[in-house]
């Protein structure tokens, strides 16, 4: 047993209202630069739908992730090392910009410069951000949001192709839900395995998967390798970029920007311990339907003294083990067993888990005039509504309906049981018994899913204090920099001697790091003056807007300031 720690996330899909706040704040913090206009580290897609990039889940086409070869050994689906190198000059499996969407802006200037007195109002035409030419908008990151575009678009959902025609139509009439996605920070990341330069690495301390911007040479194989298409190619710098799990925030113990700003408060972040020696065996489980179970078994019980001893032997700090014991992620995955991994059949062991939505079932009951919170009705409906279960199973359990069924039943039981309590009626323990849980467990689960406060949803131990003063090592973070988000950085229109991308890497918000560190250790809110005059959501923690907005210009610092 080789114990390692992993930062993991759970999203409760029942609560997602599809507002895209998470996407927008993430973009503002990380990909608000030229070269990554089309990139959404966090995106929210409507299911059923094509996803972003279009049909990324069709692995027969895109060949992402791992597969088992004839001898049952784990291999990259897109081909082994030699094949990768032979295709290095032109990667046939890389999506082109049209599969994402061509980024654009509008010619706003025309609105103010158009001559007065025209018969028609001036119009801000869309302009391509790649060529500057007029652009006809035909697709975007969430073009089919809320089933927009209707069945003609929805029908291209690769998951629907696996369910029958009848189910397909029923489904479209009855169900829709949102799926927010970030990088899965997989235990067995195929993006890293595909990188010829070895630039993508998994951090030993917290399992966060990062691209070393100084080592990436732009071979683009990671884009193919990731089955979730969560590595993106920055077309101006020629380097790959991906979700960083907001590691500068995580290191000081605060949640990612997407979690922090989530309107539905549906995200949970916590540490899980896992057995690194067991990962490859689990990922090579022969039957894809057993992968969910195998993946759950790779995780280790932090309350087990043997695990604790092994963790200590592996150098995992005590506070991390404690955090793993309090981890909401561990509880949702293994104690209550309501969180499922996204597409375990890709064999990357993804570490962002999802609680599948019960609301389509409840809505269906309500629409047909039934009591949507009655346990009997709900259980019956889950049984009868094979359609959403089949679809959810394609998403979360490689097509096996049984685990999805079980999760929905537990959620339904919790709903009914708690309703009785809330209405002052005698609680009915038989509801809990029907799903094999105790009433105390049901109440605990309710607490975690419904009322959990900030520090219960996010149990994030700060980076190891005994390994030295973070402040002294802050400069090292520059090397990991993904973000160019400071004003005169290469990504912001500045330019090194060899064009857009050259020069030293931008410090990934070294100033942010200091700001957060200080905020974390004191009550005093930090001085915003080091944020280089730019709105920077990486500093956002809901307590205050300091450090997020640039300082107001003072009279002494501006030429035209009104001196008293």
Partner 1 sequence: MSAGNILLWVIVPYICIATFVLGHIWRYRYDKFGWTTRSSQLYERRLLRIGSPLFHFGILLVILGHVVGILIPESTTKALGVSEHAYHLSAVTLGTVSGVMTVAGMAILIYRRRTTGPVFSATTTNDKIMYVLLALTIGLGLATTVLGNATGAAHDYRVDVAPWFRSVLYFDPHTHLIVAAPIGFEIHAISAWLLFAFWPFSRLVHVFSAPVGYLTRPYIVYRSREAVTPRRGWEGSRLPVEPPG
Site for ligand SF4 in 339-378 (CB under 6 A): 348
Q: Which of residues 52-91 bind partner 1 (CB under 8 A)?
A: 76, 81-82, 84-85, 88-91
Burial of 519 from C-beta contacts in 10 A (0-12 / 13-18 / 19+):
buried
Report angle CA 452, 175, 157 to the nearest 5 degrees.
105
Please report the DSSP string for 380-398 in residue order: HHHHH-HHHHHHHHHHHST
Determine contact, residues 64/183, Cβ cutoff 8 Å.
no
CB of 459 to ligand SF4, least distance (A): 19
- Asked whether position 432 contacts ligand SF4 by CB under 6 A, the answer is no
Stretch that binds ligand SF4, among 134-142, 262-270, 405-413, 555-563 (CB under 6 A): 262-270
Residue 497 is given by DSSP the state: T
CB of 226 to partner 1, least distance (A): 13
Given the structure tokens 């929210």, which residue do they identify? 44
Q: Which of residues 120-179 bind ligand SF4 (CB under 6 A)?
A: 178
Determine contact, residues 385/378, Cβ cutoff 8 Å.
no
CB of 168 to partner 1, least distance (A): 31
Phi, psi dihedrals of residue 159, rounded to the nearest 5°: -75, -30
Q: Which of residues 31-60 bind ligand SF4 (CB under 6 A)?
A: 44
| Binding site partner of 558, from partner 1, ligand SF4, none, Cβ cut-off 5-8 A by kind | none
Q: Return the number of other C-beta atoms located less than 10 Å from residue 17's C-beta.
A: 12
| Binding site partner of 116, from ligand SF4, partner 1, none, Cβ cut-off 5-8 A by kind | none
- List, in sequence order, every residue forming a beta bridge with 239; answer none if it has no partner: 234
Report which secondary-structure segment, H or E, holds 100.
Answer: helix 97-100
> Residue 188 corresponds to which tokens in the numbers above?
């067995």
- List, in sequence order, every residue forming a beta bridge with 127; answer none if it has no partner: 105, 134
| Binding site partner of 19, from partner 1, ligand SF4, none, Cβ cut-off 5-8 A by kind | ligand SF4
- Asked whether position 417 contacts ligand SF4 by CB under 6 A, the answer is no
CB of 213 to partner 1, least distance (A): 6
Cβ contacts of 478 within 8 Å, gap of 6 or more: 504, 505, 506, 507, 508, 510
Site string for partner 1, 209-228 (x = CB under 8 A): ----xxxxxxxx--------
Site string for partner 1, 446-475 (x = CB under 8 A): -----------------x---x---x--xx
- Asked whether position 209 contacts ligand SF4 by CB under 6 A, the answer is yes
- Asked whether position 384 contacts partner 1 by CB under 8 A, the answer is no
Q: Where are the alpha helices (DSSP H) in 216-374?
A: 221-225, 247-250, 257-261, 279-283, 291-298, 305-313, 318-326, 328-330, 359-367
Helix axes 359-367, 375-384, angle to 10 degrees: 100
| Binding site partner of 7, from ligand SF4, partner 1, none, Cβ cut-off 5-8 A by kind | none
> Residue 43 corresponds to which tokens in the numbers above?
């995106």
Residue 162 or 475 having the CB closest to partner 1: 475
- Asked whether position 228 contacts ligand SF4 by CB under 6 A, the answer is yes
CB of 531 to partner 1, least distance (A): 10
- List, in sequence order, every residue forming a beta bridge with 76; answer none if it has no partner: 66
The rounded radius of gyration (Å) of the Cα atoms in the chain is 25
Site string for ligand SF4, 177-206 (x = CB under 6 A): -x-x--xxxx--xxx---------------
Among 63, 128, 334, 439, binds partner 1 (CB under 8 A): 128
Stretch that binds partner 1, among 177-185, 231-239, 303-311, 393-401 (CB under 8 A): 231-239
What residues make contact with ligand SF4 under the rule CB under 6 A? Answer: 16-22, 44, 178, 180, 183-186, 189-191, 209, 226, 228, 230-231, 242, 262-264, 266, 348
């Amino acid at each position: 047993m080789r114990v390692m720690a992993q930062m993991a996330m759970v999203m409760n899909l029942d609560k997602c209202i599809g507002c895209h706040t998470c996407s927008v704040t993430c973009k503002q913090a990380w990909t608000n630069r030229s070269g990554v206009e089309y990139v959404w580290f966090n995106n929210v897609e409507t299911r059923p739908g094509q996803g972003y990039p279009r049909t990324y889940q069709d692995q027969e086409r895109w060949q992402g992730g791992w597969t088992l070869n004839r001898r049952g050994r784990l291999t990259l689906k897109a081909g082994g090392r030699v094949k990768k190198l032979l295709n290095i000059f032109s990667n046939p499996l890389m999506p082109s910009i049209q599969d994402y969407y061509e980024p654009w802006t509008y010619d706003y200037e025309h609105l103010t410069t158009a001559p007065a007195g025209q018969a028609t109002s001036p119009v801000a035409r869309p302009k391509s951000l790649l060529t500057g030419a007029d652009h006809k908008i035909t697709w975007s990151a969430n073009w089919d949001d809320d089933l927009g575009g209707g069945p003609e678009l929805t029908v291209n959902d690769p998951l629907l192709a696996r369910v029958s025609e009848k189910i397909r139509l029923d489904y479209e009439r009855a169900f829709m839900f949102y799926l927010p996605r970030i990088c899965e920070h997989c235990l067995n990341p195929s993006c890293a395995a595909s990188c010829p330069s070895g630039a993508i690495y998994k951090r030993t301390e917290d399992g966060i998967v990062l691209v070393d911007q100084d080592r990436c040479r732009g071979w683009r194989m990671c884009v193919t390798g990731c089955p979730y298409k969560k590595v993106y190619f920055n077309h101006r710098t020629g380097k790959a970029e991906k979700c960083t799990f907001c590691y500068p925030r995580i290191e000081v113990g605060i949640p990612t920007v997407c979690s922090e700003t989530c309107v539905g408060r549906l995200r949970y972040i916590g540490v899980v311990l896992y057995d690194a020696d067991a990962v490859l065996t689990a990922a090579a489980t022969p039957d894809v339907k057993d992968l969910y179970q195998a993946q759950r078994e790779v995780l280790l019980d932090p309350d087990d003294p043997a695990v604790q001893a092994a963790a200590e032997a592996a150098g995992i700090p005590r506070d991390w083990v404690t955090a793993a014991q309090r981890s909401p992620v561990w509880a949702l995955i293994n104690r209550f067993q309501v969180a499922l991994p996204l597409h375990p059949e890709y064999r990357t062991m993804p570490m962002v888990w999802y609680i599948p939505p019960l609301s389509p079932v409840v809505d269906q009951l309500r629409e047909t005039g039934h009591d949507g919170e009655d346990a009997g009705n709900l259980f019956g409906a889950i049984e009868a509504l094979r359609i959403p279960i089949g679809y959810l199973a394609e998403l979360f359990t490689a097509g096996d309906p049984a685990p999805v069924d079980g999760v929905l039943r537990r959620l339904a039981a919790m709903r009914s049981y708690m309703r009785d309590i809330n209405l002052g009626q005698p609680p009915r323990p038989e509801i809990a018994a029907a799903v094999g849980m105790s009433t105390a467990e049901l109440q605990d689960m309710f607490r975690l899913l419904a009322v959990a406060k900030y520090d219960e949803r996010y149990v994030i131990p700060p980076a190891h204090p005994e390994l030295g003063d973070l402040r002294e090592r802050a400069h090292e973070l520059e090397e990991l920099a993904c973000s160019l988000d400071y004003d005169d950085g290469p990504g912001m229109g500045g330019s090194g001697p060899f064009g857009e991308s050259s020069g030293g890497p931008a410090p990934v918000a070294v100033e942010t790091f200091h700001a957060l560190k200080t905020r974390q250790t004191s009550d005093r809110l930090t001085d915003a003056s080091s944020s280089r005059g730019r709105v920077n959501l990486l500093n956002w923690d809901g307590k205050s807007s300091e450090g997020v907005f640039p300082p107001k210009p003072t009279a002494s610092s501006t030429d035209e300031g009104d001196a008293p």
